[in-house]
């Protein structure tokens, strides 16, 4: 009887939607805008502030919480962590912290001021290390997810070198790599959405498990 009751309770439990496409979309759009600024495509890079706090930060954090509910430890760790990354970056990009000369700049270093370069370098280095560790966790997932984390890792590496005095060229390279990362994240998100709606058109994600 207890087993029957448990089965009924499980059957009555509401289905939990896959939060990964939401988290990937929030990550992709915010990364795309900031990376476009780092690549020098536009100069009003402060526009990323709202995205960093609300979409890349809060929405991605919520996606991570829903991944916990879905029992996905990797997704929960990734989305909550990168949501925290965007929230923390958005916080330090607030006008009360940025230098007046950096407001119209093209990169994070421009916004924060050149004196913040080494501090920003250690900040980005920590995220590069974390991203590499998360990349190791993608080996048995899909090729698409592996590509997202690989390009995100080398994006952080390029931006870290730039922040430690490697010059604006490395910031530009990091911007272009970030754009590629964003496109890959969007691809992976759309593939999951198409799969969830049983679309006749599917995007391959190259499962490796």
Q: Say what the pLDDT of residue 9 is.
A: 47
Q: Say what the pLDDT of residue 104 is.
A: 41
Q: Say what the pLDDT of residue 111 is.
A: 54
Q: Say what the pLDDT of residue 42 is.
A: 87
Q: Say what the pLDDT of residue 45 is.
A: 62
Neighbouring C-beta atoms of residue 25, cutoff 10 Å: 21
- DSSP secondary structure string for all residues of the chain: -HHHHHHHHHHHSPP----HHHHHHHHHHHHHHHHHHHTTS-S-GGGHHHIIIIIIIIIHHHHHHHHHHHT-HHHHHHHHHHHHHHHHHHHHTSTTTS-GGGTT-SSHHHHH-GGGHHHHHHHHHHHHHHHHHHHHTTTTSBHHHHHHHHHHHHHHHHHHHIIIII-HHHHHHHHHHHHHHHHHHHHHHHHHHHHHTT-SS-----B--
- pLDDT tens-digit series, residues 96-136: 555 544 444 445 555 555 556 788 899 999 999 999 999 99
Judge whether 50 and 20 are in contact, CB under 8 Å: no
Better-scored residue on pLDDT, 161 or 16: 161
* Mean pLDDT of the chain, nearest integer: 87
Judge whether 128 and 85 are in contact, CB under 8 Å: no
Q: Say what the pLDDT of residue 92 is.
A: 83
pLDDT mean over 181-207: 96
Better-scored residue on pLDDT, 166 or 29: 29
Is the full-model pTM beyond 0.75? yes
Q: Say what the pLDDT of residue 2 is.
A: 47
């Amino acid at each position: 009887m207890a087993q029957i009751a448990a089965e009924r309770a499980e059957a009555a439990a509401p289905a939990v939607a896959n939060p990964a496409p939401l988290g990937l979309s929030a990550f992709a759009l915010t990364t795309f805008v900031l990376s476009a600024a780092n690549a020098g495509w536009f100069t009003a890079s402060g526009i990323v502030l709202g995205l960093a706090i609300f979409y890349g930060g809060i929405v991605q954090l919520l996606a991570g919480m829903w991944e916990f509910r879905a029992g996905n430890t990797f997704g929960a760790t990734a989305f909550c962590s990168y949501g925290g990354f965007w929230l923390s970056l958005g916080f330090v990009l607030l006008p009360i912290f940025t230098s007046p000369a950096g407001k119209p700049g093209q990169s994070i270093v421009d916004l924060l001021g050149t004196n913040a370069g080494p501090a920003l370098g250690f900040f980005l280095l920590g995220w590069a290390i974390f991203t590499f560790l998360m990349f190791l966790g993608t080996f048995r997932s899909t090729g698409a997810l592996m590509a997202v984390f690989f390009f995100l890792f080398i994006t952080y590496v390029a931006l870290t070198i730039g922040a430690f005095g490697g010059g604006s060229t490395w910031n530009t390279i990091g911007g272009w790599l970030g754009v590629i990362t964003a496109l890959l994240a969007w691809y992976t998100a759309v593939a999951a959405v198409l799969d969830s709606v049983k679309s006749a058109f599917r995007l391959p994600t190259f499962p490796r498990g």
